Amino acid sequence: MVITTSPLAFQPVLERIATEIEQTPGRGRPADYIPALAACDPRRFGMAIAELDGTVYGVGDWQQPFSTQSLTKVFTLALVLAREGDELWEHVGREPSGNPFNSLVQLEYENGIPRNPFINAGALVVTDRLQTQTGDAAGILLEFLRAESGNPELAFDRDVASSEAAHGDRNAALGHFMASYSNIDNPVPALLEQYFRQCSIEASCADLALAAGFLARHGIRADGSRLLTRSQAKQVNAVMLTCGTYDAAGEFAYRVGLPGKSGVGGGIVAVVPGRCTLAVWGPGLDKRGNSVAGVAALDRFTTLTGLSVF
């Protein structure tokens, strides 16, 4: 059955999804390689929908801040693309990787050019370019998220950033390897500090659904100004669809049918272009690093509403 999605119909859809998720026995396991995330209760769940005009609907823990982690890669990508356009794609690709998000393997075969902006190597390149452009990549990102979400209280979590730095040897290896191919401009230690701060930002489902609204509005920010051209917004959504959920992007497209980006904090942001944005949080992850409850909830959303890009 497809539910008619007038604005008032979103809340009943969310409540139905939350009831179904609550009855789901297996929720995965939190990311244990980042100690600050390991203690999260895998049965927590929140989901929010933001319409184009900023109206937000939510259920469960939709206003509870959590560690955004790789969700921030979408916003950093947009900020860099807005500043330098297609020049960015000379430094990072747009193809699915087929390998784990922190893999070193492909970099050597591809001469230090990461396969896409959402694996860790690609995100490091994008953050590096934003750092070169602004001198404070993480700070510019936080300012942007505060503005788009309307929440001036968004902040870095120092404990999470410190935890990631203490366990960041593989990211350091990725950075140094790309630097050896002249694909990193800034000193790797300084870049890693920016990257770990970026990933440590805490935000709620409501914050993230609002912040991603420019992708549903074809590049238009919450204040009506244009961040991206319509074509650039399409590009970001396309890369989200094909690369946004690590090496499970094909399965996500098959089940959900929306551009989406996941993070190991248990969040997923998804976009219905021209209609709305969604954010969901469930800390329990599957083996590929995606929220078990989050993927299931988005699957049910597109099934119940008929809203997808296909």
Report how far apart, in Å, the C-alpha atoms of 148 and of each of 179, 264, 296 are. 33, 22, 27
To the nearest 5 percent, what fractions of the chain are helix, strand and coil?
A: 50, 10, 35
- pLDDT tens-digit series, residues 245-261: 988 999 999 999 999 99
254 is catalytic: no
> By mean pLDDT, which of 28-37, 57-66, 100-109, 139-148 is the weakest?
100-109
- What whole-number percentage of the chain has pLDDT above 90? 85
Residue among 56, 59, 67, 73 flagged as catalytic: 73
Average confidence (pLDDT) over 139-167:
95
Tell me, what amino acid is at 147? A
Residue of 125, 246, 256, 280 marked active site: 246
Q: Is 264 a catalytic residue?
A: yes
73 is catalytic: yes
Question: Does the structure show a pLDDT above 80 at 40?
Answer: yes
State residue 26's pLDDT score: 81
- Measured between alpha carbons, how far is 98 from 115 in angstroms, rounded to an integer? 10
- Which of 195, 239, 272, 292 is an active site residue? 195
pLDDT at residue number 3: 41
Cβ pair 243, 96 in contact under 8 A: yes
State pTM to two decimals.
0.94
pLDDT tens digits for range 269-295: 999 999 999 999 999 999 989 999 999
Q: Express each pLDDT in 187-239 by its tens digit.
A: 999 999 999 999 999 999 999 999 999 999 999 999 999 999 999 999 999 99
Inter-residue contact 211 to 56 (CB < 8 Å): no
Tens-digit pLDDT profile for residues 43-90: 999 999 999 999 999 999 999 999 999 999 999 999 999 999 999 999
The confidence score (pLDDT) of residue 4 equals 43
- DSSP class of residue 260 equals E
Q: Catalytic residue among 236, 264, 269, 272, which? A: 264
Question: What confidence score (pLDDT) does residue 260 get?
Answer: 98
Q: Which of 14-18, 158-162, 218-222, 273-277 has the lowest mean pLDDT?
A: 158-162
158 pLDDT more than 90: yes
* Distance in angstroms (rounded) separating the CA atoms of residues 161 and 207: 20
Q: For residues 291 and 63, is the Cβ–Cβ distance under 8 A?
A: no
**Is the model's pLDDT at 100 over the cut of 70?**
no
Burial 33-54 (b: 16+ CB within 10 A, else e): ebebbeebebebbbbbbbbbee
* DSSP track, 75-107: HHHHHHHHHHGGGGGGTS--S---S-TT--HHH
pLDDT over 90 at 24, yes or no: no
